[in-house]
Structure 1
Amino acid sequence: MSITSLRSNNCLLSRLKLLVKQQQQKLVHTLSEGGLQAQSRPKMVPDSVPGEGFIDMSNWKKVDARVLGIKPTMISQSSWTVLKILQGEGFEAYLVGGCVRDLILKRIPKDFDVITTANLKQIKNQFHRAHIVGQRFPICMVHVKGSCHRGWLVNIVSSFATVAKQHSDKEEVTFSQMPKGCNKKDFIRWRNSMHRDFTINSLFFDPFSNKIYDYANGMADLRSLKLRSLVPAKLSFQEDCW
């Protein structure tokens, strides 16, 4: 092994350890602020990548957000605006990722990420102030005018189509492999969730129907303080451009 290769591997390992530590600290901090007591540090569990071509629907869950105490007022008005416009145009649109995790913990999220079935150009065309940014993983930055003197608020909106395109070369599971009885909307959400980093960040929330979609036991891992990765951590670092 060359010195350059050795240094590269050491750098990757250092970044991996740092990310795990940061995610563990963030989860403990979030649980504490959410009113839950963390008796111990979260357990880092091996990658939970499903077997090749295998889709286990037995663990898929749809939970009523109202049962968890999530109220409409916990969601920012600008996020509501983005969701209403997209759904009003016939697109599926959800809150996704860390904001859903925080809402479950009864903690007001700092940021609300939206994902939709609209492609980036369609997203951009729905809003007066919006622009597409990013090369490796493009997203749409949507500016929504806030109330009173808050000015313009930025909302990050991504597309299911972008994620599918990014993974098209290595995507093993296609619509032709969709299990019998599987809803197409469920399949799209599930496939996207499998490309996220940790199970606790793979949750989708439709505040109009008050449904939280959990395809990777994210809520169970959140309750038991498990930090379970969905993709191999090394791969996540190689694709992450920070």
Structure 2
Amino acid sequence: MIKSFIDKILGKDPAKKRSPASGGRAAKAPRIPVGKRVDVPQSEHGIDPSLVDDRARRVVETLQDAGYEAYIVGGAVRDLILGHRPKDFDVATNATPEQVKSLFRRAFIIGRRFRIVHVVYGRGRENEVIEVSTFRAYLDATAAEQVTGNEKTSRKELADKSHVVDASGRVLRDNVWGPQDQDAARRDFTVNAMYYDPHTGVVVDYHGGIKDAKKRVLRM
């Protein structure tokens, strides 16, 4: 009590005390491993536009026409660079799931931990799903809110939260939106961290994914 009073007189802020766990130094914010954006034209990456699914192209165009960024992303871009026709197409955008859903007749927001949108074309065996995800921020797991229970027992606590882990550190919510470079930094391999715009023909590459794909190299 007396010490707090003296600190107050001397203008010391107890909230700025150094943390003993960090050796007397203030804890540093985690470094985000964002790469340098490189826009690679079709003449260099060599993707054949005829290998791009028309419905995936339509999803990208619809989002772009509405004023959002949108790209084919992930394994589909890797396959296209290798000259293969992808089995599945995923799209990444800066539009939120709600904004994506509002643009398509048959679109469904799915998932709690990782919210995405399924845009559905066709019916029955002929149907095709284009998975659309929002660019996500690169987050420090220690900064997440923690709940004592799990998905079932903590539903009220989880309501309206976007970054949550349970007591064991298991991620229960991972829905903090961010810029494209952070989204790329989150992806597992460099060959899955490329973004292809079928309208301009440009591949956005932050981590040398094109070079790794052509060399058949998996690099984190």
Q: TM-score when scaled to structure 1? A: 0.58
Change (3 A) 1:219 1:150: same
Letter aligned with residue 117 of structure 1 = N
Letter aligned with residue 187 of structure 2 = R
Further displaced range: 151-160 or 197-206: 151-160
Measured in 2, the distance between the counterparts of 1:116 and 1:219 equals 20
Unaligned runs of 5+ in 1: 1-50, 172-186, 230-242
Q: 1:223 aligns with which of 211, 214, 218?
A: 214
Measured in 2, the distance between the counterparts of 1:200 and 1:103 equals 11
**8 Å Cα contact 1:78/1:145 also seen in 2:** no
Match of 2:93 in 1: 116
Deviation string for 1:94-147 (max 9, x for gaps)?
00000000000010000110011110001011011111111111110101248x
> RMSD across aligned C-alpha pairs, in angstroms?
2.5
Measured in 2, the distance between the counterparts of 1:63 and 1:73 equals 18
Letter aligned with residue 63 of structure 2 = L
Unaligned runs of 5+ in 2: 1-29, 144-177
Q: Secondary structure at the match of 1:126?
A: coil
Change (3 A) 1:168 1:88: farther
The yes-or-no answer on 1:195 pairing with 2:172 is: no
Measured in 2, the distance between the counterparts of 1:78 and 1:54 equals 33
Match of 1:144 in 2: 121
**8 Å Cα contact 1:131/1:141 also seen in 2:** yes
The yes-or-no answer on 1:167 pairing with 2:139 is: yes
Match of 1:158 in 2: 133
Q: 1:211 aligns with which of 196, 202, 208?
A: 202
**8 Å Cα contact 2:32/2:182 also seen in 1:** no
Instruction: Give % identity.
Output: 37
Measured in 2, the distance between the counterparts of 1:124 and 1:227 equals 34
- Deviation (angstroms), 1:61: 2.1
